[in-house]
Structure 1
């Protein structure tokens, strides 16, 4: 019961931080399935890996003003399954933590593995640095951030030390070595 409440509260807070009410509506089929056939070659998972999870994220990209420019501080997003149920949280690291089984994966962007999207944070390919637990994120080798919407830092200058959060959405896929 406490875990379910924590997930609900985290989902609600992230929704409010993004400037609106929290939504538990299921993502559209296009958001969950569409990008597979259209993944840019720069962000494709290497051969020898298989897709093991696909979740739709809503949250914020938080930026801080450093030396007069906006720099990414951290993401904060809730990942949902096909039915719109919260299943993971995405935080600084970047790290994804399952709210179902506590497993986690930390990854880092692969150099040059990005696809620029107009008006949105880029699509990325990330390689796993470490995993924790034996649940859904155990054995993950790659993470993709696809079908991005929003999340871009504000244009122009800023006041040193200020922060701003910008709503974003993305489709995250998780792959593991094919056996």
Structure 2
């Protein structure tokens, strides 16, 4: 008998990812059903519930989405220094999306659980969101292995929730893992 809770989460993830990819395709005019491998949905970007990518965090013109992943379990871990939790955090997350499962961890790094392909990236730009960690554009700086992530050049972290450093005093060296949510969109460079 299938795990119905897990099946529902997967179904919701696919539907959510389809909406995000449809909206991104509408914004960039670059996505095709074959590239993103998700069901077609309306790409009406005039709707209020359609995600928008801030101009400050858009990948370069001509980039095309090659996958999208929702954080199914994730934390941002902060370390106390000088009596406060610092602004720098270390991610730890399990993502699920168009290319299966991806592990997101310190680096920041992303590794496909399907084929072992691995990428690391550096923050290129950010767009703040009140009450949550910012949305980001990251540029991939290293690839290992061939597979799901081997042609990724940029990563967008969108629709963030939670993950903000705890407020108030703390003991130096203490850590706090704060749950967060986001959608990661992986982009191939213009080619």
TM-score band, normalised by the shorter chain?
0.7 to 0.9
Whether the 8 Å contact between 1:32 and 1:171 is mirrored in structure 2 is no
Closer, same or farther: CA 55–95 of 1 in aligned 2, 3 Å: same
Counterpart pick for 2:91 among 75, 89, 101: 75
The Cα offsets for residues 40-91 of structure 1, whole Å up to 9 and x where unpaired, read as 1111111131111100013100111011221234110001026xx9611000
1:23 to partner: Cα distance: 6.0
Which runs of no fewer than 5 residues in structure 1 stay unpaired? 1-21
Whether the 8 Å contact between 1:151 and 1:166 is mirrored in structure 2 is yes
Which residue of structure 2 aligns with residue 9 of structure 1? none
Cα distance in structure 2, aligned partners of 1:49 and 1:77:
25
The Cα offsets for residues 140-171 of structure 1, whole Å up to 9 and x where unpaired, read as 11011000010000112211111111100100
With a CA cutoff of 8 Å and minimum separation of 6, indicate the structure with the bigger relative contact order: 1
Which residue of structure 2 aligns with residue 122 of structure 1? 134
TM-score, normalised with respect to structure 1 = 0.78
TM-score, normalised with respect to structure 2 = 0.74
Moved segments of 4+, more than 4 Å: none
For this pair of structures, how many residues does the alignment match? 154
Aligned-residue RMSD, C-alpha: 2.1
User: Between Structure 1 and Structure 2, which shows a larger proportion of strand residues?
Assistant: 1
Higher Cα Rg: structure 1 or 2? 2
The Cα offsets for residues 8-64 of structure 1, whole Å up to 9 and x where unpaired, read as xxxxxxxxxxxxxx9671245346524635111111111131111100013100111
Which residue of structure 1 aligns with residue 74 of structure 2? 59
Which residue of structure 1 aligns with residue 185 of structure 2? 173
